[in-house]
Amino acid sequence: MELLCTDRLRLRAWTTSDADLTRLADLYSRDEVTRWLGGGPTVPPAELVERWRLVHELDPVHGCWAIDPQDGGPPAGTVLLKPLPQGVGEVEVGWHLHPDSWGRGYATEAARAVVDRAFDDGLLEVYAVVRPGNEPSLAVCRKLGMQPLGRTTRWYDTELVAFRLESPAA
């Protein structure tokens, strides 16, 4: 199921029958990725994808989607828009890209697309949380025009740098 397209990307739901689940497994098994996430998933890729499907089913604004380059090749990674844990209606935008897709602007482009769609659907603000030292993700937050809020342990019980972006309608 396709969510939306940008000039260079197609965002779509991962599926449990997805031929690219090996790509998803590879992405979340890489230390250079998972060190910024606090570790890799504790469930197999098919179960992870099923959980993401349920998040989307509960609220169609939320989800975790594959980032497919329109010029072909395997998925570049995942973009997500989901409720923050321990938050009260607060929504997080995030991105997890395979290292072979880093430095191409895919994270910014995919995040911008899902945030714009969420704002069009009536969401008034989104947050991003980044581990200190993750300079590429901090740069994505800045490119998105997000306001830095400083360091917090509020949502994930570990120190993260928080950002917020308000909808133009807010």
Q: Which residues pair with 151 in a beta bridge?
A: 161
Predicted local distance difference test score (pLDDT) of residue 3: 75
Instruction: Judge contact between 58 and 72, C-beta under 8 A.
Output: no
Per-residue DSSP letters for 48-72?
HHHHHHHHHHH-TT-EEEEEEETT-
Helix (H) or strand (E) segment spanning residue 99:
none
- Token pair belonging to 102: 């880093």
Condensed to tens digits (0 to 9), the pLDDT of residues 77-128 reads 999 999 999 878 899 999 999 999 999 999 999 999 999 999 999 999 999 9
Condensed to tens digits (0 to 9), the pLDDT of residues 99-108 reads 999 999 999 9
CATH ID of 2-166, from 3.40.30.110, 2.60.260.20, 3.40.50.620, 3.40.630.30? 3.40.630.30
